[in-house]
A and B are shown apart, each in its own frame.
Chain A
Amino acid sequence: MQPNRRIDACRFVIACALGLASLAAFATDIAQFKVAKGAVYLERGGKRFPAYVGTHLQATDTVVTGADGSAGITFIDNSLLSVGPNSVLQIERYAFNSTTHEGVFDTTLSRGTLSMVSGKIAKQSPDSVKVRTPSSILGVRGTEFLVRTGE
């Protein structure tokens, strides 16, 4: 009886772990606005919404700020990102495995200014964090940096 019970307990633990893993896979929120000043918008599926402190972001969302706008976003891997006025920032790809810390983080700054502090993804797999502008690609090795792009 004892060994069987132990096996059952193991099965239960594994089932729970798998169940949570599959739940996590469906949790599509990857970040949250912590700061939103002036005109700040979120574009998703071709629609534009005003963004506020507490608004959640998903992979492939675009953040847009107006002339008086700026916004700060914290990702689930502790990457921190902010944009200044007149900025357009698209999250191209984001994935984070909270057990192994493996993931990808691709963003494009089409216009404006960006400040970034890289998080756990960059620490685990240095080549998986990239920031693009219309003419440059930035590879990020566990660090803090600023980007401005414009005509």
Chain B
Amino acid sequence: MRARHLGPLAALLVLGGCATSQDLVVLLPDKDGKVGKVFVHNANGDVTLDSAYASARTSGGSVQRNTVSQGELKEVFGSALGAMPPRPISFTLYFESGTDEFTDQSKQEIKRVLAEMARRQAPEITVIGHTDQVGPDPTNDALSLQRADRVKSILIGMGIPPARILTAGRGRREPLVRTAEGVSEPRNRRVEINVR
């Protein structure tokens, strides 16, 4: 007898559990107008959002795909959108061939980095070293990190607190110019400063 009573009770609890959360998911175009994808998985079904302002709404045991109006967007998400942090920005620095000296253009670029940091609240930077396609991954990983560390010490010398600087060695994984394996390409031997 007792066990029989648990059946409907359990079903009620499950239904109750589903009903407690009503979700609205909206896909936005990115800053270049491109749109990615969001997969919404729910006990009541699956919806894929893949166009600008497409929405998935879960309520009363169903998931509905629709498009959200600008009015509702502003009303529901205005505060969250208003609190979005500024987009990170990257600057690229090059060295005079075979030296520790920045090119003249890169010296100007460092000034832009400092100006960008001054514009931001609680600014931080990641100094990311990149290499060309010469040599194996472990060597390039170490080399790129070495380059990043060198730039970090220069930036510390310019007065940026060390606690605000992270370094990363990306090796040859992100070439600026695509080349074949083993090609020495100065434009790929660079340091990127990501300000966020």
- Which residues of chain B are near A148, meaning CB under 8 Å? 23-24, 76-77
- Chain B residues 104-131 with CB under 8 Å of chain A are 120-122, 124, 126, 128
Task: Say which size band chain A's interface belongs to.
Answer: 35 or more
B93 lies within 8 A of chain A by Cβ = no
Binding site for A on B (CB under 8 A): 17-18, 20-30, 35-43, 49, 58, 73, 76-88, 120-122, 124, 126, 128, 138, 141-143, 145-146, 149, 166-171, 173, 194, 196
**CB distance A143 to B27 under 8 Å?**
yes
- Which residues of chain B are near A144, meaning CB under 8 Å? 27-30, 36
- B54 CB → nearest A CB, Å: 10
- B175 CB → nearest A CB, Å: 14
Binding site for B on A (CB under 8 A): 13-14, 16-17, 20, 32-35, 37, 53-54, 70-74, 76, 78, 80, 82-85, 87, 98-101, 113-115, 117-118, 133-151
**CB distance B42 to A17 under 8 Å?**
no
Task: Find A84's partner among B20, B24, B42, B83 (CB 8 Å cutoff).
Answer: B83
Cβ contacts A to B, 16 pairs, < 8 Å? A16-B142, A34-B86, A72-B84, A76-B126, A78-B196, A113-B76, A117-B30, A138-B41, A139-B41, A140-B37, A143-B35, A144-B27, A145-B25, A145-B28, A145-B49, A151-B21
